Structure 1
Amino acid sequence: MTDCQALAPIAVAVPGANLGAYIHAANRVAVLTADEERTLAERFHVEADLDAARQLVLAHLRFVVHIAKSYAGYGLPQADLIQEGNIGLMKAVKRFDPTMGVRLVSFAVHWIKAEIHEYVIKNWRIVKIATTKAQRKLFFNLRSMKKSSANLTLSEAEAIASDLNVSARDVLEMEGRLLSYDAPIDGSPDDDDERASHAPIHYLEDRRYDPAVQIEASDFESNNSERLMAALDTLDDRSKAILARRWLSEQKATLHELAAEFGVSAERIRQLEKNAMDKVRAVLVA
Structure 2
Amino acid sequence: MITTTADRRMIKLAMSAPYLERDEEQALAHAWKENNDQEARNRIAMAHMRLVISMAARFRNFGLPVGDLVQEGHIGLLEAAARFEPDRQVRFSTYATWWIRASIQDYVLRNWSIVRGGTSSAQKALFFNLRRLRARLASGDRQLTSEAVHEEIAAAIGVSTADVRNMDARLSSSDISLQAPLSSGDDEGANRLDLLASDTPLPDEQVGEIIDGERRRGWLHSALAQLNAREMKIIHARRLAEEGATLEELGADLGISKERVRQIECRALEKLRTALVESTPGFSATMQA
Say yes or no: TM over 0.5.
Answer: no
Higher relative contact order (CA 8 A, sep 6+): 1
Q: Which one has the largest radius of gyration?
A: 2
